[in-house]
Structure 1
Amino acid sequence: MIETQHAVSWWDEFEQNCERFDAASVAEALSDVIVPGIPSLLLRREAEIAADTVLRHLNRPGSTELAERATMATVRLATTVARLDERVIGDESGTAAAHALVHVLQGRFAAAAAAVEPTIGTGRLLRAFVSALRLESLGTTLALRLLNAGHSPPSRCGRATRSAGTAGGRPGCRRSSASGCWPAPWTTTPSRH
């Protein structure tokens, strides 16, 4: 299991290097993991409402009405969190998870993951990010095993096709095995390059 905290750039590799990264999936999965960590019941409820509003927009991106509602809900939550931070006298305002959720709602998934990793743990966040890669269940299981074994996210992932044009016939891999692409989904042991 990975126990170290990762930088924003490490988390960002998932989105930057995958053509099929699903923002709605990662936003929903991260929201499900982050929202329960908000200690204030009223703030948690406002966070749930904002997350639901943004998810509706992400699932129907063509709707301008949903886009406006999502923007308003995100701004409202960000303003509420900032107002709570101003009122607090000590160091701990109890809004760290809410700040991370604002990152999620603004599409800054890597920043959110890096912010909550120390409290939530790497494993739950990895599941959220890997779910957004839209892998089959065997691919998801293998990806989590590779990440837990210390491998970095793949440099490129794309459509799962098996053709001579892919590196070594590996689905979705555009790099040669010598350059460190993840093994094919049917491989159960991580390769060392």
Structure 2
Amino acid sequence: MIEYFLTTSSPWAYLGHAEFGRIAKTHGVAIRCRPMPVRRVFDETGGLPLPKRHPVRQAYRLVELQRWRERRGLALDLKPAIPLGDPSLADRTAIAIGLAGGDPMPFLGAAMAGLWAGRLDLSAAETVAHLADGVGLDGTALVAAAQGEEAGAVYEENFSAALTAGVFGAPSYVRDGEVFWGQDRLDLLERAVVSGRPAYRPG
């Protein structure tokens, strides 16, 4: 089982989502989706939100996004027309899907594509519900559940679990306690899965 720490507001999670799903399916590995409040993870681990990063870092990020959207063959708006809002509703809707016994992966893929390629506002309840409907789910019911206490408690649990696991950014894939940070580490993750090697530890 691989724990998948992410937020729907991450373009990197979007770029790696389908490839990660392919890896898991190809090798028969279960995925535990753990959407998390990534800004709070940054605050706890010394990361900076994008607007506070040095301009050189911001510029390089834009170049990397172009490289990876070409590599993955995906549409991606470098600067979405809809300003990035609070991703918690979409994140918690994915949690609600899991709590209802469903697979959050299709919804997560649709939500991230909607934000990064479809100019959709993921902070709008009607938009999130429509995206869930589009993957064959009851969007209205799920958005209502996402706003409830149980989904909120799991969101907090995922935040704590991320810190405990050593996660400091999104996406992060955790296999047997070993963190693979960033979708550009998916090839290394797949090699670890295929080889079955023991997890690496610091030091």
TM-score (norm 2): 0.29
Looking at secondary structure, tell me which structure has more strand per residue. Answer: 2
- TM-score by structure 1 length? 0.30
